[in-house]
Structure 1
């Protein structure tokens, strides 16, 4: 499976008017610290607080009428859950989210507040994903991965498209890697718009799955990290295949 720049342009048109175009601002402090001209895209200003909205909405809008009636299921305790729940409610698509045992109440309650059904199952993300797959098979839901899905990757690519339109002189992009959806989509968009741009990924030291996979190794992932949003034990197959040839280096 692959994602093209035309796919990302189509995603931009598909989600237009339903997701905010977030601002790009020059960071004086980061520029002073690094000795470079640093610009930041404020995706935390999305309604649910993260870039995940673009991918979630794009994927929901790709559903057939029958799939919309049946609804979607996902495994997530964070931003993907919130984004799917919020936009699913807006579009009238039933959303079921499976969260691991021990998920903070505020996250489960926040997802329910957006209209989703929340199921607490599994000791970790792997266990929750297994339960989500079971519900897909038994209830007929469409499973929507947080990152291992071309519709998600395509939607996330709109981030880089906007970024480079607003800051066309950028020489490099530094992008966090969890499951890989963001860096995959952004790499395709950025390289199409500016072939000489340099793309760097960043992973948490305790969860270096992309970097390890590049070396042909299986990463030993686990433990606490301040970067919990990218604490994913295994990068997705789809985003890795897309991003690996386009990413210059991964910083851990």
Structure 2
């Protein structure tokens, strides 16, 4: 028998179990897998929860569907509305279509067309309004009041929180003796649901949240985080929330043990690590748990960890940029400048040397009239992908043995 929906703000373990019963067979029970390689790399026993394998590639489905299933018949008939340019929009639109509820999604005008089209494909009415989320949210409230629509909040809602908490039930059912759960924090719905369930099942378990250095809103409230905050662009746009929810903040104050704030560079490295080792695509927000462990090994060394990979909706251009930057940081993508004699075959010989040393030319710029070169010379700037960073010295030595003047440049 499914229990009644949450009536008073603060959800409980019973509410999470009720949500799990409602969601049974309607969302993916995502894999919870031990990663041997990442465990060895980071020095902790790492269990990964692949929420990026949900149908819409995000955990957001759980809360959205639980909320939809808790609506009254009158609310279902009137329809629902949400403001989002990301995973929440897709989760609401997809499951509203499945449950026969009319959905309206308000998205900023700057939302990429591919995301707008995806939401429309799920049958939702899309309203493009404003230049940012706050303007879209204001329009959502206006339309909701005008048309008597029920607002589906992305995080500050008890039924949303209970739905997200079902992740903890699955993790602890599979591996009951986890020491620490590592969870991304944006508005706080995910970590609130997970913390409520996990602490009720095992009061000794630690809940550690993760935020980007660009949007450390919950860390400022709970951990007295004092560093300057830019509130600018971030690769972890899924947790780019200026102000966490009131309800989620109350839950976090009670149950969250610590929050790790991670840099953009570390998030990018975590995305690359997951792709290279686990062969899984994670968006920036989804990779922050790994980024936290890489950033603060002192908190996690030797522990048994459950890490939530919360989503996998990353723009392909962003992914390409992340991987290229990863190659550069690790010394596998380098730029070298070579002075060449301006005669036939000189460039061909240079590229042959690179090939002989196992390098792969990514980009080459032949500057025949460079002001810094002599009249009978030309300059070549080459971006080369190497098998390992240590190969650079061997490559430069091979060029110098051929008489070339070579220097490394910054990319």
TM-score normalised to structure 1 length? 0.97
Match in the other structure for 2:54: 46
Aligned pair 1:4/2:47, yes or no? no
- Residues 22-61 of structure 1 aligned to structure 2 (within 5 Å): 22-61=30-69
Greater share of strand: 2
1: CA distance between counterparts of 2:68 and 2:179? 33
Match in the other structure for 1:136: 144
- Residues 18-97 of structure 1 aligned to structure 2 (within 5 Å): 18-97=26-105
Conserved 8 A contact 1:221-1:233: no
Match in the other structure for 1:241: 250
2: CA distance between counterparts of 1:247 and 1:135? 35
Give the number of the structure with larger relative contact order, counting CA–CA contacts within 8 Å between residues 6 or more apart. Answer: 1
1:188-236 deviation line (CA, Å, top 9, x unaligned) = 0000111100110000110000011125789845111111111111111
Figure out how many residues of one structure are paired with residues of the other and give that number.
Answer: 252
2: CA distance between counterparts of 1:241 and 1:182? 14
* CA shift for structure 1 position 169: 1.8
Conserved 8 A contact 2:80-2:152: yes
Match in the other structure for 2:306: none
1: CA distance between counterparts of 2:190 and 2:223? 21
SS at match of 1:173: strand
Aligned pair 1:193/2:201, yes or no? yes
Conserved 8 A contact 1:3-1:242: no
RMSD: 1.4
* CA shift for structure 1 position 65: 0.5
Instruction: Provide structure 1 residue ranges, at least 5 long, that are not aligned to the other structure.
Output: none
Aligned pair 1:111/2:119, yes or no? yes
1: CA distance between counterparts of 2:201 and 2:174? 12
Instruction: Provide structure 2 residue ranges, at least 5 long, that are not aligned to the other structure.
Output: 1-8, 262-411
Conserved 8 A contact 1:209-1:221: no
2: CA distance between counterparts of 1:154 and 1:148? 11
Q: Which runs of 4 or more aligned residues in structure 1 lie more than 2 Å from their structure 2 counterparts after TM superposition? A: 215-221
Conserved 8 A contact 2:84-2:133: yes
SS at match of 1:25: strand
Q: 1:161 aligns with which of 163, 169, 172?
A: 169
1:227-252 deviation line (CA, Å, top 9, x unaligned) = 11111111111111112211111000
Aligned pair 1:227/2:228, yes or no? no
Larger Rg: 2
1: CA distance between counterparts of 2:125 and 2:108? 14
